[in-house]
Amino acid sequence: MSLLVILACIILLILLITWAKFNPFLAFLIVSLLAGWWLGIPLDALTKSVKKGIGDMLGELFIIIGVGAMLGKLVAETGAAQRISQTLINWFGQKYIRWAMMVTGFIVGIPLFYNVGFVLLVPLVFSVVYQTKLPAVYVGLPLIAALSVTHGFLPPHPSPTALVAQFHANLGHTLLYGFIIAIPSVIIAGPLFSSTLKKIKSVPLQSFYTPPISEDRLPGTFNSFITALLPVLLLAISTLLPLMQTKSVALNKLFVFIGDPVIVMLLSLLVAAYTLGIKTGKTLAQVMSYCSDAIKDVSLILLVVAGAGALKQILIDSGVSTEIGALLQTWHLHPLILGWLIAATIRVCMGSATIAGLTAAGIIAPLMSSFTVNPSLMVLSIGAGSLMFSHVNDAGFWMFKEYFNLSVKDTIRSWSLMETIVSVVGLIGVLILNLFI
């Protein structure tokens, strides 16, 4: 019965947004309340679940998306994005620019959390698009695919890191196997798949478009790259900080504080305000005006993300994940396929890759003693399943849609299918590795 309710709610959500033209945030609120009622959540607890879902989703994302948008706007307005895109085109050539985007997304995505990487690097994609006149989805999808793959497969990202601990897997082996699987996954889902999407029309948010700036007014290449990618460098360093434990408790706490993504983004923005703004002759008032404009442009995205959080919390509080897991455990499948299927089913129903991965792990972990399977491969199998077919209940779906200014149909055709390809290719890679490990 619960599965039918989830299916009905997803269909209703799609119809409200695509057919009735509801504001997505209002559609999420209505569907979340209806879903909670139908799934038996007491009325006095229903609104608490909605508010908790919104709060939990926006808690860190609000700062990261907001500050990331400010940094992206500053990078675009000062000409740093133009300088970076020109350099990339010169290095790789327009013919191979999608491969440059893929490599950039993969390298940056290893230390960078998905949401941070998205809001940081998408403006650079748009800068390349505006200069080359190539289709935005065609150019940008390889980078987004790379970010998604690292988010689902590779530590230190939240889900794979937590799964390594839960399955008592070897972190080094998981990282090595993850790289082996991630490379073909991102190539197929990125440059190869995006070559079929040239006809998708996309006019990205004007917030990230600036008229070309004359060469003599552009910031230097080194300044542009270092400032724009400073969060990447800082987060890469922050992953090493836990290994630098000292006898000083205060110093250890300082390492944790500095390594927090929120602090990293704030420090990066302050540095950019000086190196790309004040140092190049702009006033502080001009820099702050860029920041204000950026917040206006991402406000709808934040509301949509909040709505997705409300629906996710309703499904968690109703206990649907447990019911789904109990049903699938009765199926006679290979353990790696079972882990993938449970994560994929929860992902499609709930939207969150992290929640899907952690929930699936909670279901599979008690069964691991009866399985003869490498725990690192189980981590990667569940990680692949957690990326399966992202659609209207996933915040990532709406971020991609709104930033690239696409219709729901074209978002499913590009983003959702890309995520599906990553998931399926990832599972195939896990099963092939299982033959040799």
**Rounded (10°) angle between helices 375-385 and 417-436:** 170
Count how many residues are written for the chain: 437
pLDDT at 99: 94
pLDDT at 366: 66
d(CA 108, CA 177): 19
- Spacing of C-alpha 212 from chain mean position: 29
Range of the domain at 412: 2-436
Q: HEC profile for 204-234?
A: CCHHHCCCCCCHHHCCCHHHHHHHHCHHHHH
190 within 8 A of 102, measured Cβ to Cβ = yes
121 within 8 A of 104, measured Cβ to Cβ = yes
Apex 41 CA angle, 38 and 45, nearest 5: 135
Hey, CA dihedral for 382, 261, 57, 205, is it positive or negative?
negative
CB proximity list for 241: less than 8 A, separation 6 or greater: 255, 256, 258, 259
d(CA 102, CA 142): 5
Type of residue at 134:
L
Mean pLDDT for back-to-back runs of 10 residues, the chain (437 residues):
80 81 87 91 92 81 80 82 76 88 84 76 82 90 94 81 84 87 96 95 70 78 85 71 67 76 86 91 90 81 80 81 65 87 86 81 75 91 95 89 92 97 97 93
Instruction: Pick the closest to residue 290 from 144, 140, 123 (CA basis).
Output: 123
Type of residue at 393:
N
65 within 8 A of 115, measured Cβ to Cβ = yes
294 within 8 A of 72, measured Cβ to Cβ = yes
CB proximity list for 64: less than 8 A, separation 6 or greater: 113, 115, 116, 119, 261, 262, 265
pLDDT at 74: 86
User: Residue 42 phi/psi, 5° resolution?
Assistant: -55, 145
Number of domain units in the chain: 1
pTM over 0.75: no
Cβ neighbours of 317 (radius 10 Å) = 18
List, as own/partner pairs, every contact residues 58-62 make where C-beta atoms lie below 8 angstroms and the sequence separation is at least 24, other chains included: 58/302, 58/305, 58/306, 58/309, 60/261, 60/262, 61/115, 61/302, 61/305, 61/395, 62/302
pLDDT at 324: 62
**Rounded (10°) angle between helices 284-317 and 335-350:** 120
- Token pair of 172, please? 């080094």
